[in-house]
Structure formats: C-alpha cells, structure tokens
C-alpha cells in the first residue's frame, strides 16, 4: 500500500484496470467495497486508487486495518489524502490523473461489484471494438430493484441517465475534449475530457459527451454492480429535473458547436 498526498506512485507493472474510489466519511460501508475489490476473479494486474476527502470518521483506518487481511490487494492499493474536501467530481478527476491502467472503473465507497465484474467486462474492451462496457445494476438498501441498462440504446443517454456510474471505460477517452492521438498506435480519435466539476450529475453528463464523441458502448445483460441507496446520500439530494436540464443544455451546446464546425 502506498500513501501520500496529491501525487501518484510508481507501479511495479502496468495495470490493465484502475479502480478509482472517492470517499468522505464512509467508515460504515467501505469494508464491503474493499472485500468486493479483493474478491475479483480477474487474474491479471489491476490497481485500486482511493481518494479520501478529509474524512473525520476513520474511513482510512478501516481500509488500512482490512488491507492487512488482504495482502495481495494491499500491494496494488494507493491511498491519497486531501487535507480539505475538494468534492467528489474533482476527486474523480484526480483519480483519473493518477490511474496507470488502460481502463478505469469508478466505484463509490459504499457500493460493491460482483466477483466477475472485471473478468467479464475486460475482454470486450480488449477486443478493440468498444470503449465503454456497462452492466445491469442492483440497487439495494433503502430501495431494492434491478436497473436493466441492457434494454436502453446508448442514444437514450441524451434524455435520461441509463448507464450506471460503475462502468469500465477506456482511459484514453478522458483525453481532450477534441481530437487526440493515441501515443502507442498513433491513431487519431475524439476525446471526451474529464468530469465537469460544475455538473449536478457528472457521470450522466460525461456519458452524454462520450456518446456525442462517438464512443462505442457494449451493454452486458448481467447484474454485476451493486448500488447502495441511502437516505440523505449526495445523489438523492439532487433535483432530477434540474440535473436533466443541465445535461440537455450541455448536449445542445456541443451539438451546436459541431454543427458550426461542420462535424
């Protein structure tokens, strides 16, 4: 385990996947998240990046204590401390900046993934045919239901949030926005950029921008992500219609820019 503030660390090998977890005062739940990461059946190397936003409830003490029980996960985990809470959106961008994997997976500190999450999703990205792999979501806790993202085409993201935040993403999409060059293949592609720190639903807005940039989505009809619904959590305090209008305003602006540019 590597610990530090605002800086990355040297990896012993290049990870295929970077799991990014942002937390603030998640001590009651982060143990479940940790165990789900430790239980991945994926046999290749992945890394776990944890960004702590000035927790005051001993969240990182829980993580450090549990990592002793999982030495293999301990070796691939890095903890980064923010002395002040800079917010989840900026912290996600920080995690992307630290990530060394070819692909990223955003996993909140109160959610869990099924043991085969990476193993089932990764081959679709490695095939080169897709940039994002989304799975069905089990919402549990204060509510209990299955969200079937498999039933929605990617274009629906322009009208409603139909992709779970915990989806596997080709990291190079965070380049941009605009035309980028793959440093390995020298291929030109359209990047999306990082998360908008002013967006109410930063993941929804990012998915919409990814769609407009031509990102290729694979939907797996498998329930591999578990989303914990808690009364009072940040996402439940956002007015959905306000967030939707904000996303649609971003979509309209980008479509207008592309039209004017003749794209």
Confidence (pTM) = 0.92
Share of the chain above pLDDT 70, in %: 93
Q: Are strands 188-191 and 178-181 parallel, antiparallel or unpaired?
A: antiparallel
Pick the residue with more confidence: 55 or 6? 55
The model's pLDDT over 113-129, given as tens digits with 9 standing for 90+, comes to 999 999 999 999 999 99
Q: What is the pLDDT of residue 263?
A: 54
Q: Where are the domains of the chain?
A: 2-258
43-80 pLDDT per residue, tens: 789 999 999 999 999 999 999 999 999 999 999 999 99
pLDDT tier at 142, thresholds 50, 70, 90: very high
Residue-wise pLDDT for 83-115, tens only, equals: 999 999 999 999 999 999 999 999 999 999 999
Tell the CATH superfamily of the 2-258 domain. Answer: Spore Coat Polysaccharide Biosynthesis Protein SpsA; Chain A (3.90.550.10)
Rounded to the nearest integer, the mean pLDDT of the chain is 90
Per residue in 203-232, pLDDT (tens digit) is 999 999 999 999 999 999 999 999 999 887
């Amino acid at each position: 385990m590597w610990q530090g503030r605002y800086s990355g660390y040297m990896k012993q090998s290049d990870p295929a996947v970077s799991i990014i977890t942002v937390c603030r005062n998640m001590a009651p739940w982060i143990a479940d998240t940790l165990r789900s990461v430790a239980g991945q059946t994926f046999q290749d190397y992945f890394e776990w990046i944890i960004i702590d936003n000035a927790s005051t409830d001993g969240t990182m003490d829980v993580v450090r204590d549990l990592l002793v029980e999982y030495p293999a996960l301990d070796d691939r985990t890095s903890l980064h401390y923010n002395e002040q809470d800079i917010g989840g959106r900026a912290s996600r961008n920080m995690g992307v900046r630290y990530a060394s994997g070819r692909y990223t997976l955003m996993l909140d500190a109160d959610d869990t993934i099924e043991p085969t999450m990476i193993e089932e999703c990764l081959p679709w990205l490695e095939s080169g045919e897709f940039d994002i792999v989304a799975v069905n979501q089990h919402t549990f806790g204060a509510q209990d239901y299955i969200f079937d993202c498999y039933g929605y085409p990617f274009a629906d993201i322009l009208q409603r949030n139909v992709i779970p935040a915990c989806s596997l993403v080709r990291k190079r999409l965070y380049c941009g926005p605009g035309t980028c060059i793959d440093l390995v293949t020298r291929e030109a592609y359209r990047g999306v950029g990082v998360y908008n720190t002013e967006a109410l639903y930063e993941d929804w807005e990012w998915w919409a921008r990814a769609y407009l940039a031509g990102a290729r989505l694979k939907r797996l009809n498998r329930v591999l992500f578990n989303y914990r619904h808690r009364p009072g959590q940040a996402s439940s305090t956002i007015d959905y219609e306000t967030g939707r209008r904000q996303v649609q305003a971003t979509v309209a602006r980008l479509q207008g820019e592309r039209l004017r540019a003749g794209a």
